[in-house]
Amino acid sequence: MQQVGLFFGSFNPIHIGHLALANYMAEFEGLDEVWFVVSPQNPFKEASDLIDAQHRLNMVHQAIQHYPKLKAEAIELSLPVPSYTIDTLRALSKLHPRHRFHIIMGEDNIHHIDRWKEADQWVRHFPILVYPRLGYEINNDQLPPLCKVTEAPVVEMASSNIRAWIHSGKDLPFFVSTPVMTYIKAHQLYQ
- Exposure string over 22-55, b if 16+ CB within 10 A, otherwise e: bbbbbeebebebbbbbbbbbbeeeeeeebbebeb
Looking at residue 44, its pLDDT comes to 60
Domain boundaries, the chain: 2-156
- In this structure, which topology does domain 2-156 adopt according to CATH? Rossmann fold (3.40.50)
Task: Say what percent of the chain tops pLDDT 90.
Answer: 75
Asked whether 13 and 162 are in contact (CB, 8 A), the reply is: yes
CA atoms within 13 A on the CB side of 185: 12
Looking at residue 4, its pLDDT comes to 98
Looking at residue 121, its pLDDT comes to 84
Looking at residue 179, its pLDDT comes to 97
